[in-house]
Amino acid sequence: MFTPAVLGQIFVDGLGLSAIYVLIALGFTLLFGIMRVVNFAHGAFAMLGGYTLYYFYGGFGLPYLVAAPLAALVVACVGLIFERVVYRFFYQRMFQSMIGLLGLDMAIMYMAVIVWNAQERSVPPSTDALLQLGALVVPEQKLVIAAIAAVALLAFYLFTHYSRYGLAMRAAAQDVAIAEAQGVNSTAIYRLAFFIAIFMAALAGGFYAQTYALSPFVGEPQLMIAFVVVILGGMGSIPGVALGSLLLGLANSFLGTFYGSAASIFVSFGAVIVLLVFRPWGLLGTKEA
């Protein structure tokens, strides 16, 4: 059963899942790292990204490489309305944000039920072609998703390390008071970070809907993925998100193949419990004084 071909296929599938997971979790940890907001409505925006891609690509027939980022952009722009009327009141208020944004998550989810009903939909893949690599069979759809995710992550890295606004975001994440004393407009930086976080969540939501299925409730497993990844890697740690996504994607691929989805979920949350007991700051997180 554990043949090189099977293990290789599991590895490839795990990398495909990791590409989606890292986009889901990166926005979640970005909001926490900069604004100290635990965004329990993160999955709801991912779900909206799935529906927007469903209409742009499956309904309107836009080219996939246009529809995927455009759908995420539209959701991120709509998200700015929520930033203005809801999120702004929870910045730097971690515990209050948990309750308030959990309520927002439920409101968006059941509004989606009213608008679209609870019926599952299918987002068509960008391609049905298969790529044969020796004994491995790789759907080209997964390669497209991985490529778009890689471009998004590279753009995020370059932005945060080499642009003026990206450096301001990193400064605000370290100490917002000192950043403001140096002339950083924290309100504008918060809005920009929120836009980027929702963009990545919506982009990942479209990919997730293509990989599984689309319904108003599809945001809940994505929220759980983001939560598990950031706990594994460390809240607020960008490298931790990458590591946690890779570990979770490979583990889910392996366990789901051999032992089923129930075992995969059990092990994932079991690992979170163990980590919170022995290393609550995560694998690459920083221990608070």
Residue 93 three-state SS? coil
Domain that holds residue 161: 18-217
Residue 277 lies in a domain: no
What residues contact residue 166 under an 8 Å CB cut-off, 6+ apart?
158, 159, 160
pLDDT at 39: 93
pLDDT the model gives residue 69: 93
Residue 40: the pLDDT is 93
For residue 2, being part of any structural domain is answered with: no
Task: Give the pLDDT score at 275.
Answer: 87
Question: What is the distance between the alpha carbons of residues 126 and 133, in angstroms, rounded to a whole number?
Answer: 20
Q: How many domains does the chain have?
A: 1
Considering the domain boundaries, does residue 244 fall inside one?
no
Q: Say what the pLDDT of residue 104 is.
A: 95
Give the pLDDT of residue 288: 62
- pLDDT number for residue 52: 97
In a domain, 83, yes or no: yes
Query: Is residue 136 situated within a structural domain?
Result: yes
Domain-embedded: residue 72: yes
Q: Judge whether 68 lies within some domain.
A: yes
Beta strand residue intervals within 29-92, DSSP E: none
> Within a domain: residue 270?
no
Write out the two tokens for 75: 């959701």
- Global pTM? 0.92
Q: Which tokens belong to 28?
A: 């979640």
DSSP single-letter state for residue 90: G
Burial 4-25 (b: 16+ CB within 10 A, else e): eeeeebbebbbbbbbbbbbbbb
Contact 233, 240 (CB under 8 A): yes
The pLDDT value recorded for residue 109 is 96
Q: What is the pLDDT along the chain (289 residues), one digit of tens a residue?
A: 667 777 888 888 888 889 899 999 988 988 888 888 999 999 999 999 999 999 999 889 999 989 999 999 999 999 999 999 999 999 988 889 999 999 999 999 999 999 999 999 989 888 888 888 777 778 888 888 888 888 888 888 888 889 998 889 888 888 888 888 888 888 899 999 999 999 999 999 999 999 888 999 999 999 989 988 988 888 777 788 888 898 999 998 888 888 888 888 888 888 888 888 888 888 887 776 5
Query: Using CA atoms, how far apart are residues 126 and 129, in angstroms rounded to an integer?
Result: 9
